[in-house]
Each structure stands twice: as structure tokens, then as C-alpha cells.
């Protein structure tokens, strides 16, 4: 278990990280310029996974669970990618809404999968960094 003061510091840093990554992810999605195909299609996917890793770290902050969070986010993200093969009416209704298309995607692209792995690895190391930040804060007190 992590001490309450550490949790507060970690949550603060986690929230700050989410507030930084979210606009960068949208910028990647709509960037126009050199390499825009990568930023739009894959870079945004990397940050999508990092976002969810940080989001669930924010919620489940009481335990040191970086690996568990990163793996679960990766598994669910990959399942959502595969789910894009299925064009059920209720999924098409969700995909027709802008935020729905951002959350569950519209078309399967196998090259998204290695980028999701990269996002999970980055998310894992960011969570570990947040855990270290809480421990460092405790040592300073």
C-alpha cells in the first residue's frame, strides 16, 4: 500500500500528465505537415494508450500496479481494434458520433497494434515514474 500523502502527490502528477497528453494527442490526430500520416494514424494511437494507462492509474492509485494497468489497457485496446471488424448496428451508431469514433475507432489497421504496445510500454514507465515521484516526495519530508 502507498501512504495517503504519496497518493495525493501521485494523483496530482498523474492529472497534470493527463492534462498535457490529451491536447497533444488531439494535436497529433489533426496535425498537418511533415510525417502527418504517422502522427495522425499511429502517434495519436500511442498517446491514446498512454492516456488510458494514466487514467486508470489515477483511479487505482492505492497499489503499485503499473504492469497490471498497462497490460489491461493494451489488451482492451487491442480488443477494441479487432472489434472494428464487426459492424453491428449499435457499434455503427457509436462510431457515427465523433467521440465514439475516437474511443472505439472505425476501421481495423493491423499496424495500430505495435503502436499500442509502444503506448503501453510508455504508460508503464510513466506510472513507474509517478510511483517514484511519490516515494521521492516522502524522502524529502
In the structure grid, which three cell numbers stand for residue 85, read together? Answer: 471488424
Assess whether pLDDT exceeds 80 at residue 52: yes
Lowest mean pLDDT among 4-8, 72-76, 103-107: 4-8
68, part of any domain: yes
Domain annotation covers residue 140: no
pLDDT category at 63 given cuts 50, 70, 90 is: confident
Between helix 4-30 and helix 44-59 the angle, nearest 10°, is 160
Q: What is the mean pLDDT of the chain?
A: 89
Q: Is residue 82 part of a domain?
A: yes
User: Where are the strands (E) in 18-124, listed by range?
Assistant: none
> Is 13 inside any structural domain?
yes
How many C-beta atoms surround the C-beta of residue 139 within 10 A? 6
Where residue 4 falls among pLDDT bands split at 50, 70, 90? low
Domain count, the chain: 1
Judge whether 141 lies within some domain.
no
The Cα 121–Cα 13 span in angstroms is: 18
pLDDT of residue 128: 93
Q: What is the extent of the structural domain holding 26?
A: 4-135
Say what the pTM is.
Answer: 0.86
With respect to residue 40, please indicate whether it lies within any of the assigned structural domains.
yes
Do the Cβ atoms of 101 and 50 come closer than 8 Å? no
Amino acid at each position: 500500500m502507498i501512504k495517503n500523502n504519496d497518493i495525493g502527490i501521485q494523483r496530482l502528477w498523474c492529472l497534470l500528465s493527463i492534462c498535457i497528453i490529451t491536447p497533444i494527442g488531439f494535436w497529433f490526430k489533426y496535425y498537418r505537415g511533415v510525417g502527418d500520416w504517422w502522427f495522425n494514424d499511429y502517434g495519436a494511437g500511442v498517446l491514446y494508450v498512454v492516456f488510458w494507462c494514466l487514467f486508470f492509474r489515477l483511479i487505482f492509485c492505492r497499489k503499485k500496479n503499473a504492469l497490471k494497468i498497462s497490460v489491461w489497457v493494451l489488451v482492451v485496446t487491442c480488443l477494441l481494434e479487432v472489434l472494428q471488424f464487426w459492424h453491428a448496428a449499435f457499434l455503427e451508431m457509436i462510431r457515427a458520433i465523433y467521440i465514439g469514433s475516437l474511443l472505439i475507432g472505425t476501421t481495423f489497421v493491423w499496424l495500430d497494434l505495435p503502436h499500442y504496445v509502444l503506448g503501453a510500454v510508455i504508460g508503464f514507465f510513466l506510472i513507474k515514474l509517478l510511483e517514484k515521484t511519490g516515494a521521492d516526495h516522502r524522502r524529502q519530508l
